[in-house]
Structure 1
Amino acid sequence: MADEPHFLKEQDRKALEVERRSETEATLEPLQLGQRVRAIRLSQNLTLEEASKRTGLARSTLSKIENEQISPTFTAVTKLVHGLGIDIPQLFAQPRSGAKPAGRRDITRSGEGKPHPTPTYEHELLNTSLTQKKMVPFRTRVHTRTFDEFTDWIRHDGEEFLYVLSGSLLFYTEFYEPVELFEGDSAYYDCTMGHALVSTSEVDAEVLWVTA
């Protein structure tokens, strides 16, 4: 089991590390959410009063957020996103100064991913024609039915997002009690922590994994 994530380590992970090293710390800016909110509001030519009406947040609350006097709650962030007509990533990040779009794109048609079977999982690697990806997406059918089928924890570098596409499964992690996940459930976790999946539905569960 310990050698299962090797397909993630060689080509994509090494390329990603090279790319990260090539970026200097000067390109990184601390998150200043208040300034982002103000910049987005002004780009839409909105006064505080107008933004208040659009978002449903009090004018005084918006002012405090913009002046970094308070941190917005999740509910406030949701209202800002909907009221200002933006996506959540736009609120928390902006392109680096002078950054140009790379124009990279890759499409994988249904069933046309690169197969990567293992003793416990049947992986389908997606968007494999792109190199130096910052994320590695793959679809997996979980064959295992008991934790005893694993010889060791699966662990590798990075963080991982898991989304259950169909069926149900037990999600085992090294430092937590197993939790059963059902279709539509998701998890985000540090994958240096041991983890493993076991199908609990009549048919093998299918999941979407994205590793960063």
Structure 2
Amino acid sequence: MTEQAHFLQREKQSVLATRSDREASVEPLQLGQRVREIRQSKNLTLEEASKLTGLARSTLSKIENEQISPTFAAVTKLVTGLGIDIPQLFTQPSTRPAASGRRAVTRKGKGQLHPTTTYEHELLAEELSGKRMIPYRTTVFARSFDDYQDWVRHEGEEFLLVLSGRLALFTEFYQPVELAEGDSAYYDAEMGHALVSLSDEDAVVLWVTA
């Protein structure tokens, strides 16, 4: 595995671990609990909900406490009486928190550097954990495909934007393509790929891996 692949694998593992923790926190839907949540969100007592739905207070209480499962007729009364749609009743409300307002500013040249023999990566927004994408600014040292021991490949998809210079994008299943300042490319990162600077100065790209 190349140095860049090691670097990206570490970052991806951090992202996937956070995502896995988030997914593991999702619990199976409990219909009774969902009925109670909807009733309480509307500030209704059991007695008030009973009058609106036409279901006996005791029946409604047993449904909420998972003592009985509502019949289709009861579900119809719940939906009509509480003024909701059936999907609302059977869909777990999103546990995703409201926008947290996370923000990270990385000043020019202040990102965390990860030099390799072919690239120097400057990791951006380093202070944010659990990112859904990995942004980094990369200076391309390589001047020939032979500078690489093998194709670079790793999980995910990748976007690159050339910030300065000219370069050749080598990809496993396509002919090399020349990219100049302002050009961009999006590709499957599990496909072998590599960048080579063509300009006198080292090309610089913005890379985003997801």
Q: TM-score scaled to structure 1, two decimals? A: 0.62
SS at match of 1:5: helix
SS at match of 2:129: coil
Identify the match of residue 98 of structure 2 among 76, 97, 100.
Answer: 100
Distance 2:96 2:148 in 1: 48
Quick one: which amino acid aligns to residue 111 of structure 2? G
The corresponding residue for 1:113 is 111
The corresponding residue for 2:121 is 123
Contact preservation (8 Å) 2:19, 2:130:
no
Distance 1:99 1:196 in 2: 38
SS at match of 1:165: strand
Q: Percent identity at matched positions?
A: 56
Quick one: which amino acid aligns to residue 19 of structure 1? T
Distance 1:177 1:7 in 2: 26
Distance 2:130 2:95 in 1: 22
The corresponding residue for 1:15 is 14
Distance 1:114 1:184 in 2: 24
Distance 2:123 2:196 in 1: 20
The corresponding residue for 2:4 is 4
- Equivalences for residues 131-210 of structure 1 within 5 A: 131-210=129-208
Distance 1:115 1:18 in 2: 23
- Residue 205 of structure 1, CA deviation: 0.6
Q: Deviations over 1:92-142 (max 9, x none)?
A: xxxx68740022111100111111110001111111011110111111111
**Change beyond 3 A, Cα 1:98–1:180:** closer
Contact preservation (8 Å) 2:162, 2:181:
yes
Contact preservation (8 Å) 2:3, 2:116:
no
**Change beyond 3 A, Cα 1:98–1:3:** closer
Quick one: which amino acid aligns to residue 182 of structure 2? G
SS at match of 1:155: coil
Q: Deviations over 1:162-190 (max 9, x none)?
A: 00000100000000000000000000111
Q: TM-score scaled to structure 2, two decimals? A: 0.63
Q: Deviations over 1:59-111 (max 9, x none)?
A: xxxxxxxxxxxxxxxxxxxxxxxxxxxxxxxxxxxxx6874002211110011
**Change beyond 3 A, Cα 1:168–1:132:** same
Quick one: which amino acid aligns to residue 185 of structure 1? D
Gaps of 5+ in 1: 27-95
- Equivalences for residues 1-80 of structure 1 within 5 A: 2-10=2-10, 12-21=11-20, 22-23=22-23
User: Superposition RMSD on alpha carbons, in Å?
Assistant: 2.0
- Structure 1's consecutive aligned runs of 4 or more residues displaced over 3 angstroms after TM superposition are 96-99
Larger radius of gyration: 2
Distance 1:116 1:19 in 2: 23
Quick one: which amino acid aligns to residue 196 of structure 1? A
Distance 1:132 1:181 in 2: 31
Contact preservation (8 Å) 2:153, 2:191:
yes
Quick one: which amino acid aligns to residue 153 of structure 1? W
Distance 1:166 1:98 in 2: 39
